[in-house]
Structure formats: structure tokens, C-alpha cells
């Protein structure tokens, strides 16, 4: 039986290595001229890098934890009917596998030799029940619009056990800490959070440093919100900042880099209030961020101050809106957030 401090040690390590390997692919695409993109049924974009990163991460998980279940944002349908795009994705995956020797750690992160195998790895992410057992949730590129715009993006991987996030890893290739750009944050519930430098060499994810959230009073805090006006209610968020007497400019940033950034004390409050009450937040947009914030000493709730419920499958259907912030200003800020949420949206109909 593992001691408490060894709990999820292997899961965290493999998740970090898998995220780092996927980031080699996403960064190669980020800086290339070839960013082949499809538009999904919900009108959102998915690029060749999203598919490639999902294949690489799920290959690693399937190799290391074959009995677990996986939920990934993407599926291979768009590749199976598009040979040209599929070949581009496979080429990017093959280059990553070749460039990357998987380190001296002797950890087998899995490989793939054909497009068919790659599609099958991508489709391992089709699970949808989260209330029981071990379920990994993956966002291969969170902030695809940011990725395409040259902004922030994240590779987000988390392990849910019986519906509770136990492990979270966020790879943020364009976020900086202590002057180093390209970082990985990882947390295990009850064991804190570390930030490590991302490196093209899989052996050297290794300058762990502990982090914690900012301790400034509410009036000196700053807000962090998404860039996309369609993803959160910028106007209402500005009103809440104003109601709280916050005068610092709001920082806009794509992806779960927002969670990473406030976990490291580079900002304080992440607000994500709905633009439409029918939208259900996706679990892969929050799971890794939640455990990272909680382990950095913060709290994540919905706009009615309820904890996020990860037992409901692929979406947070029992929650509306998301707020993440340091413990010390929680009471002050949430009073104003819930008042505004009730005024604007009424009582939770959930
Ligand atoms: N109407 C909406 N409201 C809230 N989130 C939305 C949304 N439409 C899409 N999203 C999610 O917003 C995520 C990006 O968040 P942000 O705006 O903070 O960068 C997207 O993740 P992907 O980019 O992985 O698809 C997508 O899941
Ligand atoms: Mg998407
Ligand atoms: Mg996402
Ligand atoms: Mg995504």
C-alpha cells in the first residue's frame, strides 16, 4: 500500500511527461505555417495539433494505465474522412516520436505506427461517465482560438477518482515563471503544487519550485478573464470589478493559463460568467485548473458559490459560471459575484 506521500506519484510523473511530449508537437505546429484547421459542429475550431496532442497523451496513458478510462475533447471522425489532414497529423506525431527519445527514465510513453492506430488512440477519449472509478480528462489544446491567434494555450490533463480531481497537470508553453517561458504546473490533492520548466528534453522537466497564491486585499486585486467575448460575460465581469472597488486593469488571456497564472500569484481572481445560461462548461476546461488552484491555497466555485461537480459526465451540468480566487478574499468577492449573478440570471435553475 502506498504511503500518503506516494499517492499518485506515478500518475503525476507520467502525466507531466505525456503533457511535455505533446507540447513538443503543439509548439512545432504553433511556429509552423501549417495549422490545418477544421470547424466542429458547434462552430469551434480544431487544428491538426489538437488531434496530434490527444493521440500522444492518450497513447501514454493507455500504455501506463491500461485499465483506466479516458475522456478527451476530440475524436477522430474528422480525420477518418479527411486523408490529407490525417496524413498531416500523423506526420507531426511521427516527427515528435522520432525527435523525442523518451528520456533515460525508461518510462514507456507508448508509440504508434499507423494512422489507424493514431485514430484509435484519439478515440480512447470517448468515455463519458465520471462518478465512479479512475477517469482521465484531457484537453489536448485548451484555448485553440488563442493557439491560432498566437496567444496563450494549455495542454490540460487531470485524473478524477470517483468524481474528485486528484491529479492535475497544466502545460503552458507560453506562460512564464521566474523569467523562464514554457512551464508545467502539476498538483496532487493534499500534496501541493509545483511549477517546472518545460523543456524539449523529456529528461529535464526538472526545476520544481513551490508556488502559492497572492495575498493582496480585494481592492488591490486584479481580474483575469478569457479573451473571447463569446466565452464569458466581459461586461458583467467589469461591473463586478467596479462593485468591488478594483481599479487595476483586467488581464485577458486564453485557456487554463488563467488558472496557472493566478495559482502563481501573477493575478488574483479568475471570473468566467456565462454568456448563455444554456452553455455547459466542459470538465476538461477546468479539472486540472481546479486541483492546481486548491493546492496553491485557493478556492474554485461556480457563480452561485457551489463547488464544481465533476460527477456528471463530460460537462459541469450542475454548475453555471466559474470563479477561482485566493482563500483570503473569498468571502468579500463571492458576496458581490453571487449578488450580480442572481440579479442578472436569477436563481439557479439547476
Ligand atoms: N459559449 C461558451 N462559453 C464558455 N466556454 C466556451 C464557450 N464556447 C467554447 N467554450 C470553451 O472555452 C474554452 C477556451 O476558454 P478560454 O476562452 O478561457 O480560452 C474552449 O476550449 P478549447 O479551446 O479547448 O475548445 C471551449 O471549450
Ligand atoms: Mg475545442
Ligand atoms: Mg478547452
Ligand atoms: Mg481544446
The tens digit of pLDDT for each residue in 237-277 reads: 999 999 999 999 999 999 999 999 999 999 999 999 999 99
Specify the CATH number for the domain of residue 236.
3.40.190.80
pLDDT tens for 116-140 read: 999 999 999 999 999 999 999 999 9
For the cut 80, the answer to whether the pLDDT of residue 304 exceeds it is yes
Helix, strand or coil for residue 207? coil
For the cut 90, the answer to whether the pLDDT of residue 76 exceeds it is yes
Among protein residues, the one whose CA lies closest to atom 17 of ligand 1: 226
Is 95 domain-assigned? yes
Confidence of residue 115 (pLDDT cuts 50, 70, 90): very high
Residues within 5 A (CB) of ion ligand 4: 73, 139, 141-142
Mean pLDDT of the residues in the chain? 94
Report how far apart the first and last C-alpha atoms of the chain are (Å, whole number).
40
Ligand 1 nearest-atom number relative to CA 44 = 25
Among all ligands shown, which has an atom nearest to the Cα of 72?
4
Tell how far the Cα of 81 is from the centroid of ligand 1, in angstroms.
25
Q: What is the model's pLDDT at position 5? A: 74
Among candidate residues 158, 152, 112, the one with its CA nearest the CA of residue 139: 158
For the cut 80, the answer to whether the pLDDT of residue 205 exceeds it is no
Q: What is the model's pLDDT at position 350? A: 54
CB 66 within 8 Å of CB 72: no
For the cut 90, the answer to whether the pLDDT of residue 210 exceeds it is no
Task: Work out whether strand 193-197 and strand 209-210 pair parallel, antiparallel, or are unpaired.
Answer: antiparallel
Q: What is the model's pLDDT at position 3? A: 66
Boundary of a domain, candidates 210, 241, 274? 210
Is 245 domain-assigned? yes
Among protein residues, the one whose CA lies closest to atom 9 of ligand 1: 231
Together in a domain, 277 and 184? no
Q: Is 73 among the annotated ligand-binding positions? A: yes
Is 85 domain-assigned? yes
Q: Which of 144, 218, 254, 338 is catalytic?
A: 144
For the cut 70, the answer to whether the pLDDT of residue 1 exceeds it is no
Q: What is the model's pLDDT at position 349? A: 52
Boundary of a domain, candidates 149, 176, 210? 210
Confidence of residue 103 (pLDDT cuts 50, 70, 90): low
Is 77 domain-assigned? yes
Together in a domain, 191 and 222? no
Q: Is 139 among the annotated ligand-binding positions? A: yes
For the cut 90, the answer to whether the pLDDT of residue 152 exceeds it is yes
Q: What is the model's pLDDT at position 319? A: 98
Please say if 144 is a catalytic residue. yes
Among protein residues, the one whose CA lies closest to atom 6 of ligand 1: 231
Among protein residues, the one whose CA lies closest to atom 8 of ligand 1: 231
CB 93 within 8 Å of CB 58: no
Among candidate residues 169, 182, 179, 183, the one with its CA nearest the CA of residue 138: 169
- The interface predicted TM-score (ipTM) is 0.99
Is 149 domain-assigned? yes
For 339, the domain range is 218-345
Q: What is the model's pLDDT at position 104? A: 47
Q: Is 91 among the annotated ligand-binding positions? A: no
Please say if 120 is a catalytic residue. no
Percent of the chain with pLDDT over 70: 94
Best mutation site among 44, 137, 175 for ligand 1 pocket (most ligand atoms within 8 Å of CB): 44
Confidence of residue 194 (pLDDT cuts 50, 70, 90): very high
Is 320 domain-assigned? yes
Confidence of residue 178 (pLDDT cuts 50, 70, 90): confident
Lowest mean pLDDT of 163-172, 198-207, 272-281, name the range: 198-207
For the cut 60, the answer to whether the pLDDT of residue 203 exceeds it is no
279 lines ligand 1 (CB under 6 A): yes
Q: pTM of the prediction?
A: 0.96
Together in a domain, 200 and 234? no
275 lines ligand 1 (CB under 6 A): yes
pLDDT tens for 22-47 read: 999 999 999 998 888 999 999 999 99
Q: What's the average model confidence in pLDDT over 322-341? A: 97
Together in a domain, 229 and 148? no
- The cell for 203 is 529528461
Q: What is the model's pLDDT at position 328? A: 96
Tell how far the Cα of 144 is from the centroid of ligand 2, in angstroms.
6
Q: Which residue has the cell 486585486?
A: 221
Together in a domain, 206 and 257? no
Q: Is 329 among the annotated ligand-binding positions? A: no
Tell how far the Cα of 154 is from the centroid of ligand 4, in angstroms.
8
Together in a domain, 126 and 91? yes
Paired with 167 in beta bridges are: 159, 188
Q: Is 68 among the annotated ligand-binding positions? A: no
Among all ligands shown, which has an atom nearest to the Cα of 226?
1
Q: What is the model's pLDDT at position 201? A: 65
Per the model's pLDDT, the better-predicted residue between 209 and 194 turns out to be 194
255 lines ligand 1 (CB under 6 A): yes
DSSP labels, 26-38: HHHHHTSS---EE
Q: How many domains does the chain divide into?
A: 2
Boundary of a domain, candidates 190, 210, 230? 210
Confidence of residue 202 (pLDDT cuts 50, 70, 90): low
Length in residues, the chain: 350
Describe the chain by its helix, strand, coil percentages, rounded to 5. 40, 25, 40
Together in a domain, 191 and 267? no
Alpha-carbon distance of 31 to 194, in angstroms, equals: 27
Q: What is the model's pLDDT at position 200? A: 64
Amino acid at each position: 500500500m502506498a504511503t500518503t506521500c506516494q499517492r499518485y506519484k506515478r500518475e503525476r510523473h507520467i502525466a507531466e511527461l505525456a503533457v511535455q511530449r505533446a507540447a513538443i508537437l503543439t509548439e512545432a505546429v504553433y511556429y509552423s505555417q501549417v495549422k490545418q484547421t477544421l470547424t466542429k459542429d458547434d462552430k469551434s475550431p480544431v487544428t491538426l495539433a489538437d488531434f496530434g496532442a490527444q493521440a500522444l497523451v492518450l497513447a501514454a496513458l493507455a500504455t501506463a494505465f491500461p485499465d483506466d478510462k479516458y475522456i478527451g475533447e476530440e475524436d477522430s471522425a474528422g480525420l477518418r474522412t479527411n486523408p490529407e489532414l490525417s496524413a498531416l497529423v500523423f506526420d507531426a506525431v511521427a516527427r515528435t516520436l522520432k525527435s523525442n527519445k523518451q528520456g533515460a527514465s525508461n518510462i514507456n510513453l507508448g508509440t504508434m505506427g499507423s494512422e489507424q492506430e493514431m485514430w484509435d488512440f484519439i478515440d480512447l477519449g470517448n468515455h463519458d461517465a465520471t462518478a465512479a472509478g479512475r477517469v482521465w480528462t484531457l484537453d489536448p489544446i485548451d484555448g485553440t482560438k488563442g493557439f491560432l491567434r498566437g496567444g496563450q494555450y494549455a495542454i490540460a490533463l487531470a485524473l478524477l477518482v470517483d468524481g474528485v480531481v486528484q491529479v492535475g497537470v497544466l502545460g503552458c508553453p507560453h506562460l512564464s515563471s521566474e523569467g523562464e517561458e514554457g512551464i508545467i504546473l502539476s498538483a496532487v490533492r493534499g500534496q501541493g503544487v509545483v511549477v517546472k520548466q518545460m523543456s524539449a528534453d523529456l529528461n529535464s522537466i526538472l526545476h520544481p519550485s513551490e508556488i502559492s497564491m497572492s495575498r493582496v486585499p480585494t481592492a488591490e486585486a486584479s481580474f483575469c478573464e478569457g479573451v473571447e467575448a463569446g466565452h464569458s460575460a466581459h461586461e458583467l465581469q467589469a461591473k463586478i470589478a467596479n462593485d468591488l472597488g478594483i481599479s487595476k486593469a483586467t488581464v485577458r488571456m486564453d485557456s487554463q493559463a488563467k488558472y496557472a497564472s493566478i495559482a502563481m500569484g501573477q493575478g488574483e481572481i479568475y471570473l468566467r460568467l456565462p454568456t448563455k445560461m444554456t452553455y455547459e462548461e466542459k470538465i476538461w476546461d477546468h479539472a486540472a485548473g481546479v486541483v492546481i488552484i486548491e493546492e496553491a491555497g485557493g478556492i474554485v466555485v461556480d457563480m452561485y458559490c457551489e463547488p464544481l461537480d465533476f460527477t456528471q459526465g463530460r460537462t459541469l451540468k450542475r454548475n453555471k459560471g466559474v470563479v477561482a480566487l485566493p482563500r483570503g478574499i473569498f468571502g468579500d468577492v463571492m458576496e458581490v459575484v453571487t449578488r450580480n449573478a442572481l440579479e442578472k440570471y436569477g436563481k439557479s435553475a439547476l
